[in-house]
Structure 1
Amino acid sequence: MSKLTVVVPAYNESEGLREFHARLAAVLDQLDLETEVLYVDDGSRDDTFAIMRALRESDPRVSTLKLSRNFGKELALTAGLDYVDADAAVVIDADLQDPPELIPTFVQHWREGYDVVYGTRASRAGETGFKKFTASGFYRVMGRLSSTPIPRDTGDFRLLSRRALDALKQVRERQRFMKGLFTWVGFRQLSVVYHRDPRYAGETKWNYWKLWNFAIEGITSFSGAPLKLATYFGLLTAIVAFLFGLWVLAKALWLGDPVRGYPSLMVVVLFLGGAQLMALGVIGEYLGRLYVESKQRPLYLIDEYRPAG
């Protein structure tokens, strides 16, 4: 019989974890295959891991994995997928925004031969209009800039086949944008449209600053376009400056030009200085990622792992 593992990364999700497991267990009871739930605690500061342990004691399908500290969701998710030994894995968050009831549909398409079945959000309940707008804009910018076509309005909620998991394990980069990596591995992929619910309990861990940094992570991980844009912008600025210089020289030779123009000079100097600093900042983002990769630190460290049963 085939085996399915549900990977659930969590950080400070104690308020809704029991309800999440109740709904997930009801779904798994309906599947005609062997199932396991792997809870990954990403260094939570509340009693999330204690609840995970209690769920393991009450349900023999549950296994628990605790990281040594908070490494972030991308690495917590990587750790969970590394420990999967099943024929397929489903990734889902513990906040109940993604409905566990959609898992049987994922499994059905997997049995039809698809290696990656991902959920695409038709709506995002419980989120502000500004967040919806920025999220939509991010996915569309990524679609324009990235050479890897990343599906729009798609999160981590998905099913991965065994060969997709094996392919993903070969990618050990430290600056990870999992939504892009899921697409990068290729194979047969299929979208399932669903309506995303609001959080069941607790508050989101993603404030706008973290989302901004996450967007930069995604763009720099899957596109060199910012470097090209900095190059093109610098070239355009140089051309404009050269033409302006020719105009000033011609005006001085033909018409004469008294010493003046301090305000315009300051504007030009500040503009060019700002453009240079912006270009250096873009280059610095990429150099910083190369520096992190060059240190070759482990992606994560495990504090405790307890298998199911």
Structure 2
Amino acid sequence: MKNQLISIVLPVFNEEPGIQATIDTLLNYIEQQEEDYELIFVDDGSTDKSVQIINKALEQHSNIKLIEFSRNFGHQLAITAGLQYTKGDAAVVMDADLQDPPEVIPQMIEKWHEGYEIVYGKRIQRDGETFFKKFTAKMFYRVFRKLATIDMPLDTGDFRLMDRKAVNQLLKLHEQDPFVRGQVTWIGFRQTSVRYHRQERFAGKTKYPLSKMIKLALDGVISFSLKPLHFVNIFSIVPFVSAIFSLGYMIASNNFSLVSIGITVLLFTLGLLMLAIGILGSYVGRVLDQVNNRPRFIVSKTKGFEQRNKAIHHFSAQRINN
């Protein structure tokens, strides 16, 4: 629909090999649409020439905006920062590597016009990814649904469209380590999916190695589930019960050594205690992060927003004078 503004938020981290292709693809897509668009690139501390390429395109196209972090704060916080700067009637979050095809956005907008406030992309196929990554991602979503207190849809990433009121509610959440796709599920509203084929990365390497995937998974589970704590309570009974049965068996069979029994029980108990401490430490660490109340990210500079802000200020001044 004409006069509707759609904001597209694109986190960027060292995407020099493919960022120009992403810009060209999105600009070509925008030219064919009825809605107005703004492209908000969020640079998450890139050390290559990604920022220079975006700046060059920004000088030629007024609908391109840029937010630069002072350092690398992470993909999820880059999404959060980008959403804070959106002004659209709806906002789309997508990766900057063309794995999320722009051709899916009109389908999302169509669902939005039908009355859905959140439309997420559901991946039916993932090209260019190893069997290990596909398998672990599939297992994570299914395990997460068993553990979490929210019913997060399976096989979905951060590629989604959100209505303005959904974006406003999402921005009221202030977790230090946000798990955005979980937060979007938690806020509710009418949600539906659009099935799509996730493309192979156009260029460059993935910015989500195994270590970051594990951290994202842990952030998701710890943010939306207390079941690991419940597991600790259950496991705490195991050493005691095992020790009683083991001791009873050895006494009955008259084949035991107090030293071997003591060492076995001690090692088993220590292992469970270490597991319990590790799980509790993860939750306490998140509480500490919240109590410290540090800024979740620091924006060093923004570009492309100035003219729009001047227009808004001029409009407001006119209203006051009138």
- TM-score normalized by the length of structure 1: 0.94
Task: Name the CA distance, whole Å, in 1 between partners of 2:192 and 2:206.
Answer: 28
Superposed CA offset, 1:266-306 (max 9, x none): 22221111111011110001011111111001111111112
Task: Name the CA distance, whole Å, in 2 between partners of 1:298 and 1:14.
Answer: 28
Task: Name the CA distance, whole Å, in 1 between partners of 2:284 and 2:243.
Answer: 29
Matched, 1:296 2:287: no
Tell whether the 8 Å contact from 2:41 to 2:67 is kept in structure 1 after alignment. yes
Task: Name the CA distance, whole Å, in 2 between partners of 1:126 and 1:34.
Answer: 32
Question: Shift of the alpha carbon at 1:67?
Answer: 0.9
* 1:191-210 alignment, distance < 5 Å: 191-210=193-212
Question: Shift of the alpha carbon at 1:243?
Answer: 3.9
Task: Name the CA distance, whole Å, in 2 between partners of 1:236 and 1:276.
Answer: 11
Tell whether the 8 Å contact from 2:239 to 2:268 is kept in structure 1 after alignment. no
* Equivalent position of 1:70 in the other structure: 72
Tell whether the 8 Å contact from 2:119 to 2:192 is kept in structure 1 after alignment. yes
1:284 to 247, 267, 281: 281
Q: Which amino acid aligns with 2:138?
A: S
Question: Shift of the alpha carbon at 1:81?
Answer: 0.3
Superposed CA offset, 1:101-120 (max 9, x none): 11111111111111111101
Q: Secondary structure at the match of 2:62?
A: coil
* Equivalent position of 1:24 in the other structure: 26
Question: Shift of the alpha carbon at 1:169?
Answer: 1.0
Q: Which runs of 5+ in 2 are unaligned?
A: 308-322
Question: Shift of the alpha carbon at 1:214?
Answer: 1.5
Q: Secondary structure at the match of 2:91?
A: strand
* Equivalent position of 2:310 in the other structure: none
Tell whether the 8 Å contact from 1:24 to 1:101 is kept in structure 2 after alignment. no
Which runs of at least 4 in structure 1 moved beyond 3 Å after TM superposition?
242-248, 261-265
* 1:157-306 alignment, distance < 5 Å: 157-246=159-248, 251=252, 260-306=257-303
Task: Name the CA distance, whole Å, in 2 between partners of 1:122 and 1:220.
Answer: 27
Task: Name the CA distance, whole Å, in 2 between partners of 1:143 and 1:260.
Answer: 45
* 1:5-16 alignment, distance < 5 Å: 5-16=7-18
Q: Which runs of 5+ in 1 are unaligned?
A: none
Task: Name the CA distance, whole Å, in 2 between partners of 1:54 and 1:245.
Answer: 75
Question: Shift of the alpha carbon at 1:182?
Answer: 1.1
Task: Name the CA distance, whole Å, in 1 between partners of 2:93 and 2:211.
Answer: 25
Q: Which amino acid aligns with 2:156?
A: T
Task: Name the CA distance, whole Å, in 2 between partners of 1:110 and 1:118.
Answer: 11
Which sits farther off after the overlay, 133-142 or 261-270? 261-270
Question: Shift of the alpha carbon at 1:200?
Answer: 0.5
Question: Shift of the alpha carbon at 1:258?
Answer: 8.0
* Equivalent position of 1:153 in the other structure: 155
Superposed CA offset, 1:241-261 (max 9, x none): 33444555x64xxx8x58725
Question: Shift of the alpha carbon at 1:263?
Answer: 3.7
Tell whether the 8 Å contact from 1:120 to 1:193 is kept in structure 2 after alignment. yes
Q: Which amino acid aligns with 1:207?
A: P
2:103 to 101, 104, 111: 101
Task: Give the superposed CA RMSD.
Answer: 1.6
Superposed CA offset, 1:123-177 (max 9, x none): 1111111111111000000011011111111000000100100100110111211
Q: Secondary structure at the match of 1:150?
A: coil
Q: Which amino acid aligns with 1:25?
A: L
* Equivalent position of 1:133 in the other structure: 135
Q: Secondary structure at the match of 1:64?
A: strand
* Equivalent position of 1:34 in the other structure: 36
Which sits farther off after the overlay, 222-231 or 263-272? 263-272
Q: Percent identity at matched positions?
A: 39
Tell whether the 8 Å contact from 1:27 to 1:103 is kept in structure 2 after alignment. no
| Compared CA separation, residues 237 and 263, structure 1 to 2 (3 A) | closer
